[in-house]
Amino acid sequence: IVSTRLRLSGALCEPPVQGSRLKQKGQKIQERGQWANKWEFILAVAGSIVGLANMWRFPYLCYKNGGGAFFIPYVLFLFTCGIPLFLLETAMGQYTSQGIITCWRKTCPLFEGVGYASQVIITYATIYYIIILAWAFFYLFSSFSSELPWASCRNTWNTDSCLELENRSNSSNASLPGNTTTPVMEFWERRVLAISGGIDEVGSLRWELALCLLLSWVICYFCVWKGVKSTGKVVYFTATFPYVMLVVLLARGLTLPGAIGGIIFYLYPDPARLADPQVWMDAGTQIFFSYGISLGILKTLSSYNRYNNDCYRDTFWLCLLNSGTSFVFGFAIFSVLGFMAQEQGVDISEVAESGPGLAFIVYPRALALMPLPQLWSVCFFLTVIVLGVGSQFVHLETMAAGLMDLFPGVLRRGHGRQLLLLLLCGACFLLGLLMVTEGGLYLFQIFDFYSCSGFVLLFISVCQSLAIGWVYGADRLYDNIEDMIGYRPRPLIKYCWLYITPVVCTGTFIFSLVKYTPLKFNNSYVYPDWGYALGWLLALSSMLSIPLWTVYKLRQIPGTLHQRLVLLCRPADDLPREQKPPDSCPLNSEPWPLTEKEETDSSCVPRGSRRDRA
């Protein structure tokens, strides 16, 4: 082992060879690329983490869990888990300039399985998240009509039980009869989905949704097909347009009658709810959902940064932007829900929902009650689409970059990137077709509930905080950050990596398993046993990647168990602060002073050192 390390260390200070063996054979390997400027990185991260969870999940959780009192556990989780893990992932990606798998191979090979777990999760997310875009495109195209199709019961898909929307605020009996449905519900279930009776009734393909899904994939493909060169330009639109529309929707919502009642309902504090452990779990899982932690997104996007980018400062600004956007979205959503509740003479708790039900049932119902409903419908669904695209093409880039960094000799030559993206888009599109069948929504709910669930993200977060805090070393990562940005972050985040974050995430993870209740569609339909088995297979396929890969690597390396553990816990020698001259001790990981000869010989300057950056 020592001789191998010496050979590797000696090779580091040999004069640089122009190109690898593949290059010498005339097969040029393309560079990974970098963001053209800092704003491209900021906008790319903002566009990926400020997504649909901010719009339809945070406001609902806030009202459900005590209104303004919910901010107490939310802020505590933000500072003990959200910001520390956000900085950890951003710093890892920027320091190693590698994707979600190879960044772990470089820093802590023993935990390379964390990278594979993230790769599995982001693959699942890429397959099912884009289905929301297909639905949104369907609603957008349907909005260009003389009358919104979900505003009346005079359509071919409506049943005799359909009761049209009307102003019922002065009605003595505001509740709907038990045997009637609304046109917006029938449009969603009968026109858009043509939903079947269960997951075992797949039914036929909804060809209109399939075309919308194809359109979504074409857009995402061309957003990333040229790498950061194309992505860096697209984010100027995808990250800023939602804020323009947020201002428009917020201004419209606040001017509606009943808006104040909705906002009061959104923010009215109920401190008694803080005694419920479920409130704290909801706060923690919302942080992980909305910040993209453990998905590999942050590592991938930051890997395209310049080495001396101030990732520490970026972390705080991006976290502030994300949480602030969630808070403001609550005003835009609940002002409209307050208007709808007043118009229909019902309590706002009867119309407040989370998830797809808010975007495709409740909000369209409110839009149909507004003046110029087509205009506001187009504005709303354009916002949903751009938010979804901003997250989806980053998912695709994360998945592709992880594979390209794993096999650069094959995938970074010629048109390898474009072919890989085409293959990934085609495969995910074909798999996604199962979710645009008549029984597709049942499968979509399984993916959403299990593959990217809170306990999966919490488990991976525990593993990566332990790996960096105790194996790679929190002080070592602090040294890396200082080498990149020129100053040392405050020590509080280091203590979070070591103690607070693992403890909080572990406690929340255990509680989520104790409080686990099987998924029920619409709180009524019980899935067959094979449906739940599929869900747990999706969840365990990512979680088990970590221990299985560790066992595999330990069996592959010769030597005693202690020797194998030492070798697998040692960072790669070609990291910026790990490079050493041939005559240095190969077990010493500290940086070495440059000799007078080395000061004038650029071949022995470690990549990323301060003199190299200068």
User: Distance between CA atoms of 262 and 258, rounded to whole angstroms?
Assistant: 7
Angle between helices 545-556 and 112-142 (to 10 degrees): 150
Chain position carrying tokens 């419920």: 276
Task: List 527's β-bridge partners, or say none.
Answer: none
What is the total residue count of the chain? 614
Helix (H) or strand (E) holding 279, with range, is: helix 277-291
Specify the DSSP class assigned to residue 166. -
Query: From the annotation, which residues make up the binding site?
Result: 47, 50, 54, 290, 322, 387, 391
Q: What is the CA radius of gyration of the chain?
A: 26
Q: What tokens appear for 286 in the block? A: 């919302």
* Calpha distance 136→359 (Å, rounded): 9
CA distance 24 to 433: 44
| Distance of alpha carbon 457 from alpha carbon 517, whole angstroms | 18
Q: In angstroms, rounded to a whole number, what is the distance separating the alpha carbons of residues 66 and 268?
A: 7
* 166, 397 contact by CB (below 8 A): no
- Cβ atoms 240, 412 nearer than 8 A: no
- Residues placed in the known binding site for Na(+): 47, 50, 54, 290, 322, 387, 391
Judge contact between 140 and 385, C-beta under 8 A: yes
Q: Which of 397, 390, 513 is nearest to 455 (CA)?
A: 513
